[in-house]
Amino acid sequence: MSDADLSDADLSDAYMEGADLSSANLASAELAFANLSSANLSTTNLLYTSLIEANLRGAVGLDEKQLAQAHPLEGATMPNGQKYEDWLKGKGRGEGGENGGPSYYTSSSSIEDVTIREMLTDIGRYQFIGDENVYSITVSDPTS
């Protein structure tokens, strides 16, 4: 399935252990409860991919940029075997903590270089992960 276009596909509960998904397009795909253990996810597009309770244990080629683009990841087992929430805490970005919330990746090291207006549509906390820094932005309701 290398280079496959599976964008918007519903692959919930799919068993893809050890699958070669390198360079596949999984943008906006539903992978809740999927087993992706030991899968090759090198350069796979995970933008807005739902990985709720997915098993990523032992997955190879998965980097911070891809994980920052995937959303949501609640309850997922990360490549190192940790649950997503525990993995976030280890990264200093725990849910409900100082830097909790959805994450967006930018190759820029400066938040001024990132166009964010379109991303900040909901009230809540957002993260922007740059090459050198993590920026946290809270959007609040001005009427409350």
What token pair was written down for 73? 């990841």
Q: Which residues contact 113 (CB under 8 A, 6 or more apart)?
A: 106
Under-50 pLDDT residues of the chain: 92-119, 121, 123
What token pair was written down for 2? 């290398």
pLDDT of residue 87: 82
What token pair was written down for 34? 């999927």
The answer to whether 16 and 36 are in contact (CB under 8 A) is yes
pLDDT of residue 104: 46
pLDDT of residue 25: 95
Please give the mean pLDDT across all residues of the chain. Answer: 76
Which helix (H) or strand (E) is 64 found in, with range?
Answer: helix 64-69
Superfamily covering domain 1-91: E3 ubiquitin-protein ligase SopA (2.160.20.80)
pLDDT of residue 24: 95
pLDDT of residue 91: 65
Q: Which of 45, 41, 44, 54 is nearest to 15 (CA)?
A: 54
pLDDT of residue 101: 47
Domain boundaries, the chain: 1-91, 101-144
